[in-house]
Amino acid sequence: MVFKPSELTPGVGAAMVEAWHAAGLPSDVLQVLQGGRDTGAALIDQDIDGLLFTGSATAGRHFRRAFIDRPGVILALELGGNNPLVAWDDATDPAVLANLIVHSAFITTGQRCSCARRLIVPEGATGDALIAALIDLSARLPIGAGEDTVFMAR
């Protein structure tokens, strides 16, 4: 597998591959290739089995068009999901719902494509109570450096 990280964060990509190798993954299984758009273009022109991409919808459209005549290539595109979370259950304790919402939105510091991005609540007392519980819980989340015991790393 060849991993081409964003040219804006090459150190993160290199450190991630180094961590995989330090954990025992053979270097011939995962390699990092640094570069910008030209490097990515050269990679997709190769005889590849698949492309897993996280980025913009514009780039995703480009990849979809580039592979239209290559149906054997696995194409997995994560193009910035906008996942709504509907919290409409007025029978559940607002603190319990707030806990679920916080985990959905903020676990992994929100850096997961399946994290909740929008919250939909009913108008009135039920929605107000949920928002208040969510604000209260969010204000108490331990946030700090990654080596600390925290809920979210800065």
Structural domains in the chain plus CATH codes: 2-78 (no CATH), 83-153 (3.40.309.10)
**Catalytic residue from among 113, 115, 123, 147:** 113
Tens digit of pLDDT for each residue in 120-145? 999 999 999 999 999 999 898 877 77
Is 78 tagged catalytic? yes
Catalytic-residue membership of 123: no
Mean pLDDT, the chain, whole residue set: 87
- Environment class of 130 (CB within 10 Å of its CB; exposed 0-12, middle 13-18, buried 19+): buried
DSSP string, 67-107: TTT-TTSEEEEE----EEEE---TTS-HHHHHHHHHHHHHG
Output the pLDDT for position 147: 65
Catalytic residue of the set 78, 115, 123, 147:
78
Q: Are strands 83-86 and 116-120 parallel, antiparallel or unpaired?
A: parallel
Range of weakest confidence among 47-51, 57-61, 89-93, 120-124: 89-93
pLDDT at res. 109 = 63
Q: What is the pTM of this model?
A: 0.57
